């Protein structure tokens, strides 16, 4: 019960709604969303914060649009991973189960104009009449499932997503290690070059020695770049697997059914 009261307060306060995996479907169900993914230490995120607050005020109480945010360093990590967030701030929009990247300006006027013109009702469990034939059939399949069967299917997908998220986490750590290796390698090149220049070698000896350092660096740089790009591609593949798993749609159907059940009880 407390979770539902908290959700109401978050939406009603006028401040930006902070989303996490637990309450995502509950708060976004039946709405078009504009979500900012951020980290507290990010400079551009701090600059965007007051604008985002004003934007939230503009749509406070809306029945069809939700302006929200996700802290990628706190309990919003799962949402950030699921949506392939790697730059901050990132803004996604649209149907909560099929978010798209916002590429416009970050001014209040640009964001508000975009929300006014682009965040219209679209295909979802709450707006099934707006779906095309295949998507409507997919949603209806989930809606017709007994609750226990749908829950079991969601759990299976959850397990697969958790494995994918762990893989992404480990791969990102490997990519970070490669970046650190590159920084150290670049510094070693600078140090080696300075050492050669400071020794009593002839001009020709210095030239050849520095050339050897440069060639070794370029070979190692090429190797590290290939490894890093392969890791980025592996992460992109796993993110796609998560986004195309159908889990978001299943969760949306479950949330819509839960909301309908509560409304029927009133």
**Buried (b) or exposed (e) across 152-170, using 16+ Cβ within 10 A?**
ebbeebeeebeebbeebee
CATH architecture of 17-122: 3-Layer(aba) Sandwich (3.40)
pLDDT for res 123 = 82
CA atoms within 13 A on the CB side of 108: 12
* Joined tokens for residue 252: 């949306």
Instruction: Judge if pTM exceeds 0.85.
Output: no
Residue whose structure tokens are 């230490």? 41
The pLDDT tens digits of the residues spanning 234-252 come to 888 888 887 778 888 888 8
pLDDT of 149 > 80? The answer is: yes
- How many angstroms separate the CA atoms of 222 and 182, rounded? 10
pLDDT for res 265 = 63
pLDDT band at 4 (very low <50, low <70, confident <90, very high): very low
The pLDDT tens digits of the residues spanning 203-230 come to 888 889 899 999 999 999 999 999 989 9
pLDDT band at 107 (very low <50, low <70, confident <90, very high): very high
Mean pLDDT of 131-152: 91
Residue whose structure tokens are 């980025």? 232
- How many angstroms separate the CA atoms of 95 and 112, rounded? 17
- Which CATH code is given to the segment(s) 148-265? 1.10.287
Q: Provide CB contacts within 8 A for 72, sequence distance 6+.
A: 37, 38, 39, 80, 85, 88
**Bond from prior residue into 89 cis (ω within 30 degrees of 0):** yes
> For the residues of 200-241, what is the DSSP string, one character each?
---HHHHHHHHHHHHHHHHHHHHHHHHHHHHHHHHHHHHHHH
Domain ranges of the chain: 17-122, 148-265
* Joined tokens for residue 176: 């970070």
The percentage of residues in the chain with a pLDDT greater than 70, rounded to a whole number, is 92
Of 129, 149, 147, 128, nearest in space to 139 by CA: 128
Quote the mean pLDDT of the chain: 86
Of 83, 73, 112, nearest in space to 24 by CA: 83
Mean pLDDT of 117-135: 86
DSSP state of 145: S
pLDDT of 14 > 70? The answer is: no
pLDDT band at 69 (very low <50, low <70, confident <90, very high): very high
């Amino acid at each position: 019960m407390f979770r539902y009261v908290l959700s109401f307060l978050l939406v009603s306060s006028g401040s930006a709604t902070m989303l996490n995996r637990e309450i995502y479907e509950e708060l976004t169900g039946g709405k078009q969303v504009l979500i900012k993914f951020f980290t507290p230490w990010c400079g551009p995120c701090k600059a965007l914060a007051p604008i985002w607050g004003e934007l939230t005020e503009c749509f406070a109480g809306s029945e069809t649009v939700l302006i929200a945010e996700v802290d990628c360093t706190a309990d919003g990590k799962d949402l950030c991973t699921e949506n392939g967030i790697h730059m901050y701030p990132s803004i996604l929009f649209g149907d909560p189960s099929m978010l798209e990247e916002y590429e416009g300006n970050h001014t209040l006027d640009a964001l508000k104009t975009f929300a006014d013109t682009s965040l219209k009702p679209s295909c979802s469990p709450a707006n099934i009449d707006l779906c095309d034939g295949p998507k409507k059939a997919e949603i209806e399949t989930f809606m017709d499932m007994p609750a226990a069967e749908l829950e079991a299917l969601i759990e299976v997908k959850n397990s697969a997503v958790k494995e994918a998220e762990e893989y992404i986490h480990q791969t990102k750590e490997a990519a970070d290690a490669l970046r650190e290796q590159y920084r150290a390698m670049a510094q070693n090149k600078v140090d080696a070059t300075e050492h050669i220049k400071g020794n009593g070698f002839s001009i020709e000896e210095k030239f050849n020695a520095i050339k050897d350092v440069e060639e070794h660096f370029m070979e190692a740089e090429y190797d590290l770049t290939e490894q890093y790009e392969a890791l980025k591609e592996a992460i992109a593949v796993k993110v796609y697997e998560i986004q195309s798993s159908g889990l978001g749609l299943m969760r949306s159907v479950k949330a819509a059914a839960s909301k309908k059940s509560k409304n029927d009880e009133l």
